[in-house]
Amino acid sequence: MPYTKLGSIDQIAEVIGRHLKEEDISVVLFGDSPIEEETRPDIDMIDDNNQIGRALGDFRRTIEAIPIENNWNTEFRKININEGLNNEYLLNYFIDGSIRTKYLGELITSNGSGGALMLASIGAIAVKIDYGSNKVLPVITKSKLYVYMISNLSDTTKERIKNELGKLNPPVNVEFLTQEETQENIRGAAGGKARNEMHNTEIEVAKVARSINPDLGWIVIDGALRKKEFIELDRAIGVAKSFGQKVIFKEGGTKTISYLAGMKKGERSKVYRYKILSSNNESDEKDTLERIAFWYLRIREPPPEMIPLGGIVKVDLSLKENNEFNNITEIADNLSESILKIADPSIFPRPRWPSFLYPIRVAEEYLEPILYSREEFLRLGISLKRVMYNV
Amino acid sequence: MSENGRIFLGKTTTTNQIASTVDEFYFWIKEDAEVQPYDFVTAIDGNFYSIGTVVEIANYTDAMSHLSNRIISDIPGGPLLDRLSTTVAKVDVFYSYQIKEGKKQEKIYPVESGVDVFVSTKEEILEALNAGQSQNQYFPAGIISRSIGEEVIVPLQPEYLVGPEAGHMNVSGISGLATKTSYMMFLLYTINKKYPDKYINIIFNVKSADLMNIDVKSDDLDEDDKKIYKLIFGDEIFRNGSLEPFNNVQYYQPRGENGNPLSYSNRRGIIYAFQLSDVYQDLDLLFSDVRDEYHTAESFARFVARDWNEKSNCWEIRGISQRGRGNNQLFSKDISTWKELLDLLDNFTDEISRIYGLALSTVSRIKRELGRLTESPIFVSQRNRNEVFLREVIRNSTPGQTIVIDIAKLKKPEQTFVVGEVFRELGNILNLETEENHRNAIIVVDELNTLAPAKQESPLKEQLIEIARKGRSNGFIIFGAEQFASEVDNQIIGNSSLRVLGRTSAMEISSSAYSNYSRQEKNTIMMLRKGEMLISYPTFRSNVKIRFPKPPYKILGRNR
């Protein structure tokens, strides 16, 4: 009999349902509502803007970017595609994470205070390019299930739920959010926690991938480098399909991000750094952004009906300790060449296809069955009802 | 190879669009596995086994359109990375069972997704073909070739081929490539080897001298043919290094000019011919291909049979002949030969018209048709003592005997008449049969589309249909063949329990006669090679592709 997640879902429902019942808390289930991620547009871009906002301490401001290359003067630079592979800049591992969160329903106590119950299925994967067979193969996967509860539960109940869910096979994590943390947006708060955990899981996977063969090639993270741990990872780059647009490029004059629309396939921009003033608030985001060099690379021409920045990826590179690269042009050229070489096949006509690197698409395909499906989430609601109300 | 020593092929797969059912499942094929259409595979889910044949193999990639792949081709040198890709096989289930308390029990249930699929063992294939019933007695219908090399005999449960449960075989396919006659003769041979003295074999030789040497050893069997015969019958089948052909065979050839055989064969068999007195009751068969919307020719044939005097062995015509007003005369004629019959119709048209109430034009037409139909030298006034009447031969035949009736050189109406005579005699035997004098016969006849056409009624067709309907319970079995099954009456095809298709043309296969074959099966049928057939049988839940050897007798020319 093939493995399904239904058995473990029933166990989760049993633990949560039993304790809520004991505390006389009822659940108003949301039923067949869509999975949260399906309702939220371009989460990468939102995260990018948030990261910049936190680094600057002001969510309304734009951030300045200054070039760190001065050895060429054209607006964009054509990348030479050489025959054969450059072993020094080989892109070996690709890390991708994904989450599915589901707002299960509201929790209502007997004294009338409210709360919420959310589930998050989190997964991360490392795929590897086997340059011998030209195939993309899975290497490491990790998955986690998180329960997010916002309610005035007693400490004892919280501990018991945490312990019992932690003992399940596979263990289930639970986080109790305070009303202050969630403010008015319960779903957004839990979603943010889940995304943070997804990045943590990506880091775990990336570290394992790096440890498999410490001297081998580069690791590519899907998306921007958001975490300190990514910055510290040796030979890791982030490749983001979508990116924040509140950036001002100080290059002679001032340019907005729309100047990138003129970039042709196979060209890259200059390598930039963010200009962050020491007067800005200290934060993890500020620390991270200060240590990133980045450039833009067009991997495909978008069709006329798409936005002009489609087909452009933003490449994040962690700067060395002294925050300088002597040979940044050579590094950016070689990494860009490696990216261009592995970008195809295209995944047309899937959403955002012009900006996709094919290994990331493969990683997503492998991630799909790792995550809990919509039907499995629904099963939790049904099981919960059965436990709490004997229906 | 998996842990338990079986050859692992892949795992079953179902999606939200494509389900597995009790009749079919899909599995993805692991990269280095060897699978071909019509291989038998077994899905094993704990103690649940589902055995079937691969009917389709398809390769998928994650490209959502051909355009995606077209775009990639614009990249100089092509993309570095291969797409995600998998090859998926569709399987038609033959038999599924579970093992409960050490016993196998049929369980009709779909296979779930993610179940391991293996190459079927020989035992599983036989279980699947026999629907779980062990068979001590079977007819070998050929062999299944498998990708892993080991070949398996396809067993036919006798009661579904030669009665009483079901009976008859129909083979169709294009001329030459389909090897229809060879297959009929191969199966006849295997049945006779299994039951040497049970059946009277009646074979019509319809083209050249194809079947006029079936008791002569073949010099054309290659090693592959011999291997199949050995697999089926064991090494002892090759006595003195060669295969025994049919034995106890008697050949019958039509009478030609000067009493010589009218045949493509140099063989001197027994000559058959027809006197009017032999067949006076069967003139309707002679008119089989004559257009007869108002049944006038049929009426004439009935009048002859009705007024035939068996004592004097002639057609007695008695009546009032009116030649002119009030000039009534008694008309009396006795007719006992074909010549007298034609002379009568020539010279006494008015009398026949009056006595039998036939229009003058009808009598004239019958005269013309009879003249045309009986011009062959097989119609004689008097048979000599070496010439035989075929119905007597059939009547007196005994089990174990093989009768080859050569009709190859006859014209079509004469062929129809000869076949009709044999079937009419079989019909008589069928009607007169008792438990004591029960006999079993297998009749091999080609060109069924001319004998029992779909869109035309004829006495012969009725006779064939009667045998097709009743024969299975009485042990009279037809092995019939034709190029186009769509041109043969549905009752003939429908009553055939074993349906065999050789290579068939695209136009023919698009007709309704093949509507129960899937698209994949139709494609297979169009690409079958010589010696390959697709067979359907009542005990098989799906069709099986088989191979068979060349027949064990001498074949002239390049015919197979």
Measured between beta carbons, the chain A residues lying within 8 angstroms of B13 are none
Confirm if B304 and B365 have CB atoms less than 8 A apart: no
H or E segment to which residue B119 belongs: strand B116-119
Q: How far is B85 from chain A (nearest CA, A)?
A: 10
In a 3-state reduction of DSSP, which class is residue A5? coil
Tell me whether residues A358 and B79 touch, CB distance under 8 A. Answer: yes
Q: What is the pLDDT confidence band of residue A50, given thresholds at 50, 70 and 90?
A: confident
Position A1 pLDDT exceeds 60 = no
Q: What is the rounded distance in angstroms from the CA atom of residue A78 to the CA atom of residue A341?
A: 14
Q: What is the rounded distance in angstroms from the CA atom of residue B333 to the CA atom of residue B313?
A: 13
pLDDT at residue number A373: 83
Measured between beta carbons, the chain A residues lying within 8 angstroms of B65 are 348-349
Report pLDDT digits (tens) over A80-96.
999 889 999 999 999 99
Confirm if B282 and B433 have CB atoms less than 8 A apart: no
Nearest to B81 among A1, A344, A349 (CB): A344
Tell me whether residues B71 and A362 touch, CB distance under 8 A. Answer: no
pLDDT at residue number A370: 86
Q: By CA distance, what is B44's nearest residue in A?
A: A1
What is the average pLDDT across B112-122? 95
Nearest to A342 among B81, B84, B114 (CB): B81
Confirm if B22 and B110 have CB atoms less than 8 A apart: yes
Q: What is the pLDDT confidence band of residue A321, given thresholds at 50, 70 and 90?
A: low
Position B2 pLDDT exceeds 60 = no
Out of A59-63, A73-77, A282-286, A323-327, give the one with best mean pLDDT. A73-77
Residues pairing with B118 in the sheet: B8, B42
To the nearest whole number, what is the mean pLDDT of chain B? 89
pLDDT at residue number B560: 47
Name which of A334-338, B434-438, B488-492 the model is least confident about.
B434-438
Q: What domains lie within chain B, and their CATH numbers?
A: 3-134 (no CATH), 156-264+385-547 (3.40.50.300), 276-373 (no CATH)
Tell me whether residues B83 and A348 touch, CB distance under 8 A. Answer: no
pLDDT at residue number B467: 85
Name which of A356-370, B240-254, B447-461 the model is least confident about.
B447-461
pLDDT at residue number B121: 93
> Residues of chain A whose C-beta is under 8 A from some C-beta in B?
1-3, 129, 133-136, 341-342, 344-350, 358-359, 361-362, 365
Q: What is the pLDDT confidence band of residue B513, given thresholds at 50, 70 and 90?
A: confident
Tell me whether residues A347 and B75 touch, CB distance under 8 A. Answer: no
Residue A381 per-residue DSSP state: H
Q: What is the pLDDT confidence band of residue A2, given thresholds at 50, 70 and 90?
A: very low
Of B120, B132, B121, nearest in space to B91 by CA: B120
pLDDT at residue number B558: 47
Of chain B, the percentage scoring pLDDT greater than 90 comes to 57
Tell me whether residues B71 and A346 touch, CB distance under 8 A. Answer: yes
Confirm if A150 and A224 have CB atoms less than 8 A apart: no
Higher pLDDT, B363 or A29: B363
Nearest to B63 among A3, A342, A345 (CB): A345
Position B263 pLDDT exceeds 90 = yes
Measured between beta carbons, the chain B residues lying within 8 angstroms of A341 are 80
Tell me whether residues A345 and B68 touch, CB distance under 8 A. Answer: yes
Tell me whether residues B115 and A2 touch, CB distance under 8 A. Answer: yes
Report pLDDT digits (tens) over B11-59.
999 998 999 999 999 999 998 899 999 999 999 999 999 999 999 999 9
pLDDT at residue number B135: 63
pLDDT at residue number A278: 65
Structure tokens at A198: 């997804």
CA–CA distances in Å: residue A306 to residues A162, A255, A264, B15, B523: 47, 22, 15, 32, 43
Nearest to B82 among A135, A341, A350 (CB): A135
Position A40 pLDDT exceeds 60 = no
B521 burial class (0-12, 13-18, 19+ CB within 10 angstroms)? buried
Q: What is the pLDDT confidence band of residue A327, given thresholds at 50, 70 and 90?
A: confident
Q: How far is A96 from chain B (nearest CA, A)?
A: 17
Tell me whether residues A350 and B64 touch, CB distance under 8 A. Answer: yes
Measured between beta carbons, the chain B residues lying within 8 angstroms of A349 are 64-65, 67-68
Report pLDDT digits (tens) over B121-157.
999 999 898 876 666 678 999 999 888 888 899 999 8
pLDDT at residue number A280: 64
Nearest to B65 among A129, A133, A349 (CB): A349
To the nearest whole number, what is the mean pLDDT of chain A? 85
Q: What is the rounded distance in angstroms from the CA atom of residue B525 to the CA atom of residue A136?
A: 39
Position A3 pLDDT exceeds 60 = no
Report pLDDT digits (tens) over B309-357.
989 999 999 888 766 566 777 888 999 999 999 999 999 998 899 888 8
pLDDT at residue number A357: 95
Residue B111 per-residue DSSP state: P
Measured between beta carbons, the chain B residues lying within 8 angstroms of A2 are 112-115
Of B175, B171, B203, nearest in space to B189 by CA: B203
ipTM metric: 0.72
Tell me whether residues B80 and A341 touch, CB distance under 8 A. Answer: yes
Q: Is the peptide bond before A34 cis (omega within 30 degrees of 0)?
A: no
Report pLDDT digits (tens) over B434-472.
766 678 899 999 888 888 888 887 778 888 888 888 888
Tell me whether residues A1 and B75 touch, CB distance under 8 A. Answer: no
pLDDT at residue number B432: 77
Q: Choose, out of B70, B81, B84, the residue to mutate when testing the contact with A (most A CBs < 10 Å).
A: B81
